[in-house]
Amino acid sequence: MLRIAVQSKGRLFEETMELLEEAGIKLNNKKRTLLVPAKGFPIEVLFLRDDDIPQAVATGVADIGIVGENEFVEKNEDATIVKRLGFSTCRLSLAIPKDEDYQNLGWFEGKKIATSYPHILKQYLQQSNINSEIHVITGSVEISPSIGLADAIFDIVSSGGTLVSNRLKEVEIVMQSEALLIATNHLPGEKQAILDELIFRIEAVQTATDKKYIMLNAPEEKLDEIIGVLPGMKSPTVTPLATKGWCSVQSVIDDESFWAVISSLKSLGAEGIIVLPIEKMIL
């Protein structure tokens, strides 16, 4: 049995649960408790605070964990990054009152900065040769300048809406962050095998993200041009139709280029275009 630590609430929790469900990991207990086994897969889910996950994995309380890169770097625990997951993206940034005149990092010299990430901030300031006072705070860091607790803040930024509502502006991006799959060092062989299977399933889900399966009828005289528009994972599948001079073409396209591809296909005479979502993709 492999134990995975995940965040107990918030956006990372929701996106992690969605990923696990798509990978076929369904929990036995709908009423969430601290430790919940899965159905049909040898894994159990341990729900923790996000900042407790790195230590839980490093000490072997959990075998693996899904955690924000910001928390993993801040806690600086001895665990291994197994896979970058690409969701729950954000950034750690320095922000100051919006009316301040900001030219460069020198503005922070001698200033007091409120943050929940003192380790990352200290390293950044040292590398930049800036002497600032770091004020560690949990909770609503963004209100610190308005109540006179600090001159600036160092905190997570996603959309930037929270900064705007607190009359702050982002002036320096220190690091980008995303969800990570981490593991304790030296997993036993049987647990490593379970982890390998889990990674295989996650990659199948992620490969299918933002991709569409497309089927269409194409005139044979335009087939080479249509294939040029529709490269598949190796090449499109082409099948002759009962109607002479026509064939069926099947392929996979990226969602980003979807409308441009459809327009090109129609201009080349493609008909009966059918587009389907892809749930999983095994390469």
What are the DSSP calls for 29-73, one per residue?
Answer: -SS--SEEEEESSSEEEEEE-GGGHHHHHHTTSSSEEEEEHHHHH
Flag residues of the chain having pLDDT under 70. 29-32, 231-233
User: Shortest CA distance to 25 belongs to which of 52, 55, 3?
Assistant: 3
Sheet of 112-115, strand order: 133-136, 112-115, 152-157, 90-97, 168-177
Which pTM does this prediction carry? 0.84
Domains, the chain: 2-88+178-207 (3.40.190.10), 90-177 (3.40.190.10), 210-277 (3.30.70.120)
Please tell me the predicted confidence (pLDDT) of residue 96: 96
Please tell me the predicted confidence (pLDDT) of residue 231: 64
